[in-house]
Amino acid sequence: MSTTNIFVTVPVADLEVSKAFYTALGYTVNPNFSDESSACIVLSDTIYVMLLAKSRFGNLTDRELVDPKTHTQALHALGVETRDEVDALAATALDAGGSVPGDPQDFGFMYARDIEDPDGNGWQITWMDPAAQQNGPPAE
């Protein structure tokens, strides 16, 4: 079995605010999978974020929806090509109405920053040394 793509679905309070945030980060909206209560954000050819109005998201589960600003269920990591891109994306997230909780995490072979969209949905932006991707982290 081979996984061909990933859709990460997150609940949002204001679809237009959320679309503006993700497009400010440089991503696009796929109108073929978007309507008045959802938006498909294209991160790459195989990675998508489905923004769903909370009312619509609630129809997908019998579980209680939690506030991502106060509860964490998952942290999704997105890899970029350079350390500078990590910092640039964090700065853009702030400018677009998101937040950047915590300090940068620098492990030498890996560098990361956490960002949150306006609803508090968390993303970790990471860069990893290509040698570490191939061989694992250096021995300590």
What class has domain 74-140? alpha beta
In the chain, list all ranges with CATH 3.10.180.10: 1-59, 74-140
Q: Which CATH number fits domain 1-59: 2.40.40.20, 3.40.50.720, 1.10.357.10, 3.10.180.10?
A: 3.10.180.10
> What tens digit of pLDDT does each residue of 44-58 get?
999 999 999 998 988
- pLDDT at position 12 is 95
| Model confidence, pTM | 0.86
> What tens digit of pLDDT does each residue of 21-73 get?
999 999 999 999 999 999 999 999 999 999 999 989 888 888 888 888 898 87
Question: Could you give the C-alpha distances from 18 to 13, 69, 83, 118, in angstroms and in order?
Answer: 8, 14, 25, 7
For 7, list phi and psi in degrees, rounded to 5. Answer: -115, 120
CA atoms within 13 A on the CB side of 40: 14
